[in-house]
């Protein structure tokens, strides 16, 4: 059978990886897919660089619309990124009846509802394994491998840049700014690393996973997003002393209503630094690696680990999508795996909960005067609000501030509580004259 023809929009790191892996493994891929898969046309503004990457046998153009307009092209791979022209081109490719493969998590997390609806109308597939956790087949696992399960929660380290920074801060006791500069010098972080360090990239990815896990629409605008820029080296150290590591987690959790506690049902969707017990496997995911834990009612807890970025790891995911589409594109559209795992007319309207309704436990660091009664004042506020303490750590003032210091750090770990209640406690504690600096609050996840 004639090879399936693929057009590639944007040939940077991932595009050239995709081209190279497809060429290198073409025999095996053909045996798996049932027919050959060939990139026959590439669009890139830098045509000379693109031609050098793919060789003379592939047509290179500067205009992406020429690829979409080519009737011989069956699948369009979008590797341009961003929400601007990429969105237009994806919608035009769908309208032209092409299947689309994309690594663009930002685009799908923000405009996924519109894009999947357009694809559904046209009977084409939009595949996005490469958009979440690079080479880890987590979309496939959530959408197909775990399909028997009612998924209760998932939590992932899904941004390699921030995991690299946190690993270096812990290993070397360095502060955030110093490690960020190193990461940029080493080429791990972008020149503008805002989306990574502010948690936005992780929030795009966990938004996509939440839709697949719970059958809700993609709702990036409802996600709570907090990055790692405010994390202090001393909190990483205290967390370690208490048996925890700090990781930037993307969390999606199904919450049952609890009438007695005044809690409604809904979905927690959040990205923030989290204390994770050091003995969990995920706490030991270091450097730029990614990992995702998924808890299903039948399977229990599962863990997926691997490279979340890079040329060939991401190409591995792009090509897996090409193979899936090659196998399925002649099948009746209604019989294919739905884009978001649930049938489009069977999506749930379960609410994404505001952060004030989220339930989690906390690490608090208070800089306090080292004098009698301070601990009682602080714990009195927590007790009055029904917040239960799990552990307390207080350092000698000398140890924290040097010889003769009169202030010390008071570290408190709490049991689960509603975030809104914790906010009240923080306001009250912050108002105490004996609390000398802004209180540091980091959420804690036991992941069981
Ligand atoms: N910027 C991402 C990361 C890689 O640091 O993990 C691509 O998703």
What does residue 330 show for φ and ψ, rounded to 5 degrees? Answer: -90, -5
Does residue 312 sit within a domain? no
pLDDT at residue 213, as a whole number? 98
Does residue 386 sit within a domain? yes
Based on the fold, state whether residues 258 and 153 are members of the same structural domain.
yes
How many angstroms does the Cα of residue 400 sit away from the middle of ligand 1? Answer: 36
Query: At 342, is the pLDDT very low, low, confident or very high (cuts 50, 70, 90)?
Result: very high
Does residue 319 sit within a domain? no
Query: At 167, is the pLDDT very low, low, confident or very high (cuts 50, 70, 90)?
Result: very high
Residue nearest to atom 8 of ligand 1 (CA): 309
Based on the fold, state whether residues 250 and 380 are members of the same structural domain.
no
- SS3 percent helix, strand, coil of the chain, rounded to 5, is 40, 25, 35
For residue range 359-389, list pLDDT tens digits in order. 999 999 999 999 999 999 999 999 999 999 9
Does residue 329 sit within a domain? no
Between residues 185 and 324, which one has the greater pLDDT? 324
Based on the fold, state whether residues 117 and 163 are members of the same structural domain.
no
Contact 138, 132 (CB under 8 A): yes
Report whether pLDDT(190) > 80: no
CB proximity list for 387: less than 8 A, separation 6 or greater: 414, 415, 417, 421, 422, 425
- Helix (H), strand (E) at residue 5: strand 4-9
pLDDT at residue 105, as a whole number? 96
Residue nearest to atom 2 of ligand 1 (CA): 159
Is the CB of residue 250 below 6 angstroms from any atom belonging to ligand 1? Answer: no
Based on the fold, state whether residues 251 and 120 are members of the same structural domain.
no
Does residue 324 sit within a domain? no
Counting the structural domains of the chain, the total is 3
Say if residue 273 is exposed, middle or buried (CB neighbours under 10 Å; 0-12, 13-18, 19+).
buried
d(CA 338, CA 212): 10
Which is it for the CA torsion 432, 434, 437, 442, positive or negative?
negative
Report whether pLDDT(261) > 90: no
d(CA 209, CA 290): 14
pLDDT at residue 313, as a whole number? 96
Does residue 433 sit within a domain? yes
Per-residue pLDDT, averaged over 259-286, amounts to: 95
3 state SS of 22: helix
On average, the pLDDT of the chain sits at 96
d(CA 216, CA 208): 10
Active-site residue set: 205
Q: Look up the pTM and report it.
A: 0.96
Quote the radius of gyration of the chain (alpha carbons, Å).
Answer: 24
Q: Which residues pair with 123 in a beta bridge?
A: none
Based on the fold, state whether residues 152 and 111 are members of the same structural domain.
no
Per-residue pLDDT, averaged over 101-123, amounts to: 97
For residue range 16-52, list pLDDT tens digits in order. 999 999 999 999 999 999 999 999 999 999 999 999 9
**Boundary-marking domain end, from 81, 96, 127:** 127
Based on the fold, state whether residues 296 and 273 are members of the same structural domain.
yes
d(CA 267, CA 116): 21
- Percent of the chain at pLDDT exceeding 90: 91
How distant is the alpha carbon of residue 153 from its chain centre? Answer: 14
Residue 347: how many CB atoms within 10 A of its CB?
16
Query: At 262, is the pLDDT very low, low, confident or very high (cuts 50, 70, 90)?
Result: confident
What does residue 364 show for φ and ψ, rounded to 5 degrees? Answer: -120, 135
Domain CATH for 362: 3.30.70.260
Based on the fold, state whether residues 87 and 56 are members of the same structural domain.
yes
Contact 153, 252 (CB under 8 A): yes
Return the best residue to mutate from 81, 159, 193, 305 for the ligand 1 pocket (most ligand atoms within 8 A of CB): 159
Find the domain containing 80 and state its range. Answer: 4-127
Does residue 49 sit within a domain? yes
CB proximity list for 245: less than 8 A, separation 6 or greater: 170, 236, 239, 275, 276, 278, 283, 284
User: Of all atoms in ligand 1, which is nearest to the CA of residue 164?
Assistant: 5
User: Of all atoms in ligand 1, which is nearest to the CA of residue 290?
Assistant: 6
How many angstroms does the Cα of residue 308 sit away from the middle of ligand 1? Answer: 7
């Amino acid at each position: 059978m004639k090879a399936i023809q693929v057009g590639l929009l944007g040939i940077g790191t991932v595009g050239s990886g995709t081209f190279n892996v497809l060429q290198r493994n073409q025999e095996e891929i053909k045996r798996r897919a049932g027919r050959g898969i060939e990139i026959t046309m590439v669009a890139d503004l830098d045509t000379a660089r693109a031609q050098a990457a793919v060789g003379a046998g592939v047509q290179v153009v500067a205009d992406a619309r020429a690829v979409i307009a080519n009737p011989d092209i069956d699948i369009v791979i979008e590797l341009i990124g961003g929400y601007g022209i990429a969105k237009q081109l994806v919608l035009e490719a769908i309208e032209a009846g092409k299947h689309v493969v994309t690594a663009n998590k930002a685009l799908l997390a923000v405009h996924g509802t519109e894009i999947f609806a357009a694809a559904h109308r046209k009977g084409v597939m939009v595949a996005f394994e490469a958009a979440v956790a690079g080479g880890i087949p987590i979309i496939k696992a959530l959408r197909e491998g775990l399909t028997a399960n009612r998924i209760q929660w998932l939590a992932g380290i899904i941004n390699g840049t921030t995991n690299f920074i946190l690993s270096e801060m812990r290993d070397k006791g360095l502060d955030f700014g110093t490690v960020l500069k190193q990461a940029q010098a080493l080429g791990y972080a972008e020149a503008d690393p805002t989306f990574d360090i502010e948690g936005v990239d992780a929030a795009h990815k966990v938004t996509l996973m939440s839709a697949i896990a719970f059958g809700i629409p993609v709702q990036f605008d409802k996600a709570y997003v907090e990055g790692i820029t405010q994390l202090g080296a001393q909190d990483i150290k205290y967390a370690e002393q208490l048996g925890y590591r700090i990781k930037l987690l993307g969390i999606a959790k199904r919450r049952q209503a609890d009438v007695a506690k005044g809690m409604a049902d809904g979905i927690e969707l959040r990205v923030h630094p989290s204390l994770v017990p050091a003995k969990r496997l995920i706490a030991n995911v270091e450097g730029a690696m990614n990992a995702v834990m998924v808890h299903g009612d039948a399977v229990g807890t599962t863990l997926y680990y691997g490279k979340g970025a890079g040329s060939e790891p991401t190409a591995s995911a792009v090509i897996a999508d090409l193979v899936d589409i090659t196998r399925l594109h002649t099948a009746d559209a209604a019989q294919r795996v739905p884009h978001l795992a649930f049938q489009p007319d069977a999506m749930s309207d379960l609410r994404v909960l505001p952060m004030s309704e989220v339930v989690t436990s906390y690490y608090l660091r208070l800089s306090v005067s080292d004098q009698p009664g301070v601990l009682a004042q602080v714990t009195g506020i927590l007790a009055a609000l029904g917040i239960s303490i799990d552990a307390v750590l207080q350092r000698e003032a000398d140890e924290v501030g040097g010889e003769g210091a009169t202030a010390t750090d008071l570290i408190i770990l709490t049991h689960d509580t509603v975030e809104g209640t914790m906010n009240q406690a923080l306001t009250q504690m912050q108002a105490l004259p004996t609390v000398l600096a802004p209180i540091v609050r980091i959420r804690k996840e036991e992941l069981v």
